[in-house]
Structure 1
Amino acid sequence: MAPQAKLSVPTIGNLPHAHRLPVTHREVVRTFSKLSRQSLLSLAQQWLSRKTRDFCRPYLYADQDPDLGDDDAQFDPAHSYEELQEIYKELGLRKGGRKEVVDRMLEGDWRNGISMYQLATAEIQYLLDHPGALRWNAKRLAKIQHSKTRVKDMEVTNDSEHLPRFQAQTFMANLARELSPLMKGHYLIIRIKTMPLTLLRVYIHDSPYGTESSVATTDTHAPDGAKSVFFVWPDGSPFVYVSVATHMGQVVGEEARHLRDIVLHAIPKAFSRPSSRYELQNTNFTARTLQALLTFRGPGKSNAAAGGWSIFADNSFSQNALDFLTAPRPVETGNGASKEEPSSENKAGKGHPKRILVQGETPEVKRRKEIAEGRFGTSAKENDGQGIERFEVRIDDPFPAIFNNGVRQEDAALAQPSKRGRKGRPSLLDRSLEEIAESQRDDTWAPDVRVTFQGSHVFAGIRQLVEQGVIDGEKMPGWMTGEAAVTVGAVKHGRIRTKGSVPGV
C-alpha cells in the first residue's frame, strides 16, 4: 500500500527557531553575501555554543547516510561540536577572504539548511556592522486618553505613567496572538550590548501555512512574501524606532509596506491591557543611525534641547542652568592641536594684552565661528554620529498682496488651477483639506514652496556654511539649526508649526 501523502493544514502557531531554509534560498544568499569574514566567524562560534545547539545543529559525521555517501562533498563533516569550534578558531587566526568562510558554512557544516534563528542573528549582525543600512522612523508609544489631556510633547519627564511595563515573554505572546490569524511570523528579541537598546526582529511569512516546506520555497518568480521588520526600544523612553525599509538595500513594494503596517499596528495592542490602551503616534523624525535617534528621540535631555539649546543638555553649565559663566574651551589650531581659550582674566582690555588669534585666522572668520557656536551650540558637529540625511520643510507664509490696476495679483493666481501635478505616493508635506480651508478663510494665498536639504549630515553642513560666510548666521531662522528636532515640517512666520503639540506637519 502506497504511503499516504502528508497534508498541510493552516495553523495559528509561530515559525519555530529550528525551521530550516535551504542554502540556496534568496534570503540566505542575500544575507550571507553581505557579511564580513570576521562577522561570519563570530556567528559560527555563537551558533556552536551550548545554548543554541538545539536550533543551530550543523551537519556532523554521524548524520551521514551510508547508502548515499558524501564522496563528492567539498568539505568533510566534523565529528563533534568541539572540532568545529577549533576549525573556525583556526580560520580566524589566518588571513583569507569572505568567500572561504561562506562556502565552508553553506556547502559544508550547514549544508542541510540554515535555521530561522541563524538567519535572524545574521541579519541583526549585519545591522550592527552597518548602522546606516536602514532608515528608521521614530514613533511615540502613548496611552490613549481624553483628547484634551493627551500627552504629545517630545520631552521625557520623570512621570512614567504613560509607559507600559515591558516584559519580553508576555509581549511576544501578545504580539503573536495579534498576528497569527493574519500571517506567520518568526520573532527574535535581543539586547544590544553596545547601546541601551532592545531590538525585535520580525520575519513575516505571508502564508497561512507554517510548515518548513512552505517557508523554504525557492521560487524566484513568486512574489517576495517573506519580509524582515525591525523594532527598537530605547531604555526609559516612550519612543519606538521602526525600520522604514524591510530589506537592507532592497526596493520595498506596496505589499511589503502593507505587511509592515500590520505588524506596526499590532505593537501597541501587544502592550495594551484592560483599561489601559496604547497607540503609536508619529513624531515627524526619520534618521539612518540609531545614535541620531537616541539623541533626538531618546531618554535624555536632548529631545527638547536641540540646536543652540544643546548647551543646556550636555552639562556645559554648572547646576544652575542660567549660570552662563562657562569654563574655557579648547580652540583647535591649524595643525590639529588644541590650546585652551584665554580666560576672562586674560582678555583684551585695560592692563591686559590682546587675545592671540589662531594662526591664519582673521577676526572675521573668528566672529563667524562664534556666531555658529551660538546658533548651533554643541550640536551639528562633523563625525558626531548624529547626522540627519534629509530635512524637508514646506513654507506656509502667505504671498504678499500686490495690487495691479486695483486687482490683487494673488487673487488671480488663486483663481488659476495649478498645472503642476505631483506623481507617486502622497507626501507628508501635502496640505490637508483643513489647511486649505483655513487659508481660504483667511483670504490669503500661500504658494506650494518646499525646501529640501540632503547630505550625510545636513545640519553640520549648514553650520559649515555659516562659518564660511555663505549663510548669514545672525539672520538665519532657528529651524535651520535643527532646534525643532524634526525631519519633516511646515514653516510659518519663521517657526516650525505644531499640530496637536507635535512639531512638524
Structure 2
Amino acid sequence: MEEAVSAKMELEDRLIPYNDRKFVLRKLLRLPLTALGHLVIHWASKYGVESRSGFARIQASVETLQKRRVKRRILATRIILDYWPRGMYLYQLAQIDCYLLVHRPSLHYWASSTAWNAKNEKQIMHLDFDNFVQRLKEDLQTLYLCNVHSFKHPEMPLLICRVQLFDHSNKFRADPARSLDGSSSLNAPIEHQLISRSPYYIAFPLNSPNIIHSPDEDSYAKLILQSVQKIYSEREPVMLRPNQTIAVRSLEALQILQGASRHSSALGPWACYAGVSFEISPLGKIERHESMRGRRVLSSSGDLPDDSLPEAKRLRHEKAMVRFKGSREGVMKRKAYETKRFIQRIHNPDKEPSASADESEINISKYSSLIPVEKVEFTLTKDLSPASRQVSVRFKFRGKDVFGGLHELCDKELIQVEKVPGWLAGENGADSGTIINGEFINCTQKGGLL
C-alpha cells in the first residue's frame, strides 16, 4: 500500500487505513437499507469485491435483500466480512460519512463564518468548486497527509467538502527500537502508521458570503479554514470571521439562516414578508382584501358570551400563529411537504410515490418552527428610573424547538401573546443577545479574523 501515498503527502482513495470493524459497522447500521444497497452496488462497480461473486451477482443479491426488507445488519455484515474483508477504502469511509450527513442530519453540530473583503463588506463566494477542491488538497498536502471528498447535497443548495487529516503514530516516530524478530517498527505498512483525525466538514451555500462548517476550534480546524481563506483570496483578498458562538445541530436551519434565503432576514412575525404572503396577488379578487371585508379581532375585555367561545379560541390561536409564524397558516404544511419529499428522495428513491399519500401522514406539529432553535439566551436590561440602577434578567431556553414551545404555551393561555416581544417570538432566529430598553443587540463573538 506504499504506492497509495504520493510524494505530495496525498492519500489515495484506494488506501485501506486501519479501522476498528465494530466502529465501521456501527456507522453502517445507522444508514437505511436502501442507502446501503446503493453504496454496495456503487463500490462493487468502482472497485470490485474480494469475494468470488461477480458484479451482476452482487447486484442481484442486494436487490433481493431490499425486496425482502431484511434487517440492515445482514447487508452491513456482508459488507464488512464478505465483500471487503481486508478493510474499507478511504473513499468508502468518506462516502459512509457523507451519506450519514444526509440521512442522519442531527448527528453533527454546525457553525458558520462570513467572508469580508478589504472594504469591510460581505463578499459573496463564487467558486469553481472542482478547482477549489483540488487547490484545497494541494494546499493541505504541504503540511499533512489528507483526504478530501466533496459532493452536492441532494436536497439543499449546498456544496460540501469532507476533509480528513492524518498524523503518523508516535510509536512509529520514536527511536527505531527493534521488535522481537529484529525488524524495525518503521517497516510497518503505512496504513498502520497513520492516526486519523475526525473529519471536518465545510458547506458552501450558493450565492452567499457565508460558509457553514464543523464547530471544532483546534489547530487542525483553524488550519483548514485558513487554507479555505487563502485559496479564495487568490481571486480577491477576504477574511473569514466566525458568526456565532453557539453551534446549531440542524444543517437545514443554518442553511436558511446563512444561505441565499429571504427567511434569513424575515423570521417569526416577519415571516410573511419572506413568503410574500402579506398582500394579495395583483390578479386576486379585490373584495377579499382585508381593507374591504374587514377583520375580526379578539376582544380583550373577556366579556364574551358562551356561544362565542369557540370563535374566540380560534381568533386567539390565529393571533399566536401570526405572532410566532408570521401567517395564520403557519409552516406545518410546508414542513410536512418537505419532510415527505426528503423521505421519498433520500430514504425511498426507488419507490414510486403513492397517489393516496398526503401531508397528513407526516406527523408535524402545528407549533413546529421553520427553523427549530435548540438553545438561545437573552439578557433583558432596563433602567427602571433615573434614580435607580440598571436591572438585568437573564433567560436561558433549551429544548428541541424553543419558540415552538413558547407558541404552545400561548395557545394554552399560560403566556399572554399580546405581551410577547419580537425577540421572544423568534424574529432573530438562533441568535442570542441583549435587550436594552426594548432594543435587541446581537451577541457577537469577541476576537479578530482568522
Please say whether Structure 1 and Structure 2 have the same fold, judged by a TM-score greater than 0.5.
Answer: yes
How much does 1:94 deviate?
Answer: 1.4
Equivalence for 2:121? 151
The letter of the residue matching 1:91 is: L
How much does 1:376 deviate?
Answer: 3.9
Equivalence for 1:304? 265
The letter of the residue matching 2:432 is: V
User: How far apart, CA to CA, are the structure 2 residues paired with 1:389 and 1:14?
Assistant: 39
- Which residue, out of 251, 260, 283, partners 2:243? 283
* Structure 2 residues not aligned, in runs of 5+: 174-186, 298-305, 332-365
User: How far apart, CA to CA, are the structure 2 residues paired with 1:48 and 1:384?
Assistant: 42
TM-score (norm: length of structure 2)? 0.73
Question: Are 2:149 and 2:163, in contact at CA under 8 Å, matched by a contact in 1?
Answer: yes
SS at match of 2:107: coil
The letter of the residue matching 1:89 is: E
- Which residue, out of 316, 322, 330, partners 1:367? 316
Equivalence for 2:301? none
Question: Are 1:141 and 1:163, in contact at CA under 8 Å, matched by a contact in 2?
Answer: yes
Q: Does 1:201 align with 2:162?
A: yes
Question: Are 1:183 and 1:206, in contact at CA under 8 Å, matched by a contact in 2?
Answer: yes
Question: Are 1:185 and 1:204, in contact at CA under 8 Å, matched by a contact in 2?
Answer: yes
Equivalence for 1:16? 12
- Which residue, out of 229, 237, 262, partners 2:208? 237
How much does 1:140 deviate?
Answer: 1.8
Task: Map 1:431-442 to 2 at 5 A.
Answer: none
User: How far apart, CA to CA, are the structure 2 residues paired with 1:38 and 1:181?
Assistant: 39
Segment of structure 1 superposing worse, 92-101 or 484-493: 484-493
User: How far apart, CA to CA, are the structure 2 residues paired with 1:177 and 1:231?
Assistant: 17
How much does 1:286 deviate?
Answer: 4.0
Q: Does 1:393 align with 2:378?
A: yes
The structure with the greater share of residues assigned to helix is 2
The letter of the residue matching 1:122 is: I
How much does 1:299 deviate?
Answer: 0.8
Q: Does 1:268 align with 2:241?
A: no
Task: Map 1:186-197 to 2 at 5 A.
Answer: 186-197=147-158
How much does 1:216 deviate?
Answer: 4.3
Structure having the higher Rg: 1
How much does 1:396 deviate?
Answer: 4.5
User: How far apart, CA to CA, are the structure 1 residues paired with 2:155 and 2:238?
Assistant: 29
User: How far apart, CA to CA, are the structure 2 residues paired with 1:184 and 1:364?
Assistant: 63
User: How far apart, CA to CA, are the structure 2 residues paired with 1:396 and 1:497?
Assistant: 11
Number of residue equivalences: 383
Question: Are 2:110 and 2:214, in contact at CA under 8 Å, matched by a contact in 1?
Answer: yes
Question: Are 1:25 and 1:217, in contact at CA under 8 Å, matched by a contact in 2?
Answer: no
- Which residue, out of 49, 52, 69, partners 1:58? 49
The letter of the residue matching 1:200 is: C
User: How far apart, CA to CA, are the structure 2 residues paired with 1:327 and 1:295?
Assistant: 32
The letter of the residue matching 1:459 is: F
User: How far apart, CA to CA, are the structure 2 residues paired with 1:453 and 1:171?
Assistant: 40
Cα separation, partners in 2 of 1:317 and 1:393, compared to 1, 3 Å: closer
How much does 1:195 deviate?
Answer: 2.0
Cα separation, partners in 2 of 1:498 and 1:33, compared to 1, 3 Å: closer
For 1:198-257, what per-residue CA distance to the aligned partner results, in whole angstroms no more than 9, with x for missing partners? Answer: 111111213499x99444459xxxxx7421111111222222111236xxxxxxxxxx83
How much does 1:108 deviate?
Answer: 0.6
The letter of the residue matching 1:477 is: P
User: How far apart, CA to CA, are the structure 2 residues paired with 1:212 and 1:114?
Assistant: 19
Question: Are 1:235 and 1:299, in contact at CA under 8 Å, matched by a contact in 2?
Answer: yes
The letter of the residue matching 1:131 is: P
SS at match of 1:281: strand
The letter of the residue matching 2:372 is: G
Question: Are 1:23 and 1:29, in contact at CA under 8 Å, matched by a contact in 2?
Answer: no
User: How far apart, CA to CA, are the structure 1 residues paired with 2:66 and 2:136?
Assistant: 39
For 1:165-192, what per-residue CA distance to the aligned partner results, in whole angstroms no more than 9, with x for missing partners? Answer: 3112321232223322332211011112
Question: Are 1:199 and 1:231, in contact at CA under 8 Å, matched by a contact in 2?
Answer: yes
Cα separation, partners in 2 of 1:382 and 1:46, compared to 1, 3 Å: farther
- Which residue, out of 410, 424, 431, partners 1:466? 410
SS at match of 1:491: strand
SS at match of 1:382: coil
User: How far apart, CA to CA, are the structure 1 residues paired with 2:5 and 2:56?
Assistant: 40
User: How far apart, CA to CA, are the structure 2 residues paired with 1:358 and 1:104?
Assistant: 66
* Structure 1 residues not aligned, in runs of 5+: 1-5, 61-76, 153-161, 219-223, 246-255, 330-342, 349-356, 404-409, 411-444
Segment of structure 1 superposing worse, 187-196 or 33-42: 33-42
Segment of structure 1 superposing worse, 98-107 or 288-297: 288-297
How much does 1:14 deviate?
Answer: 2.0
How much does 1:490 deviate?
Answer: 2.5
Q: Does 1:180 align with 2:138?
A: no
Cα separation, partners in 2 of 1:399 and 1:237, compared to 1, 3 Å: same
Question: Are 2:367 and 2:408, in contact at CA under 8 Å, matched by a contact in 1?
Answer: no
Question: Are 1:134 and 1:244, in contact at CA under 8 Å, matched by a contact in 2?
Answer: no
- Which residue, out of 15, 37, 40, partners 1:41? 37
SS at match of 2:198: strand
The letter of the residue matching 1:240 is: I
- Report the RMSD for the aligned CA atoms in angstroms: 4.0
Equivalence for 2:56? 82
Question: Are 1:369 and 1:467, in contact at CA under 8 Å, matched by a contact in 2?
Answer: no
User: How far apart, CA to CA, are the structure 2 residues paired with 1:305 and 1:287?
Assistant: 19
Cα separation, partners in 2 of 1:501 and 1:187, compared to 1, 3 Å: closer
Cα separation, partners in 2 of 1:113 and 1:226, compared to 1, 3 Å: same
Task: Map 1:333-348 to 2 at 5 A.
Answer: 344=293
Equivalence for 1:431? none
User: How far apart, CA to CA, are the structure 2 residues paired with 1:384 and 1:326?
Assistant: 32
- Which residue, out of 104, 109, 119, partners 2:83? 109
User: How far apart, CA to CA, are the structure 2 residues paired with 1:302 and 1:196?
Assistant: 15
Task: Map 1:439-458 to 2 at 5 A.
Answer: 449-458=393-402
Cα separation, partners in 2 of 1:206 and 1:358, compared to 1, 3 Å: farther
How much does 1:314 deviate?
Answer: 0.3
- Which residue, out of 101, 106, 109, partners 1:127? 101
User: How far apart, CA to CA, are the structure 1 residues paired with 2:142 and 2:384?
Assistant: 53
User: How far apart, CA to CA, are the structure 1 residues paired with 2:248 and 2:374?
Assistant: 7
Cα separation, partners in 2 of 1:299 and 1:103, compared to 1, 3 Å: same
> What is the identity percentage for the equivalent residue pairs of Structure 1 and Structure 2?
20
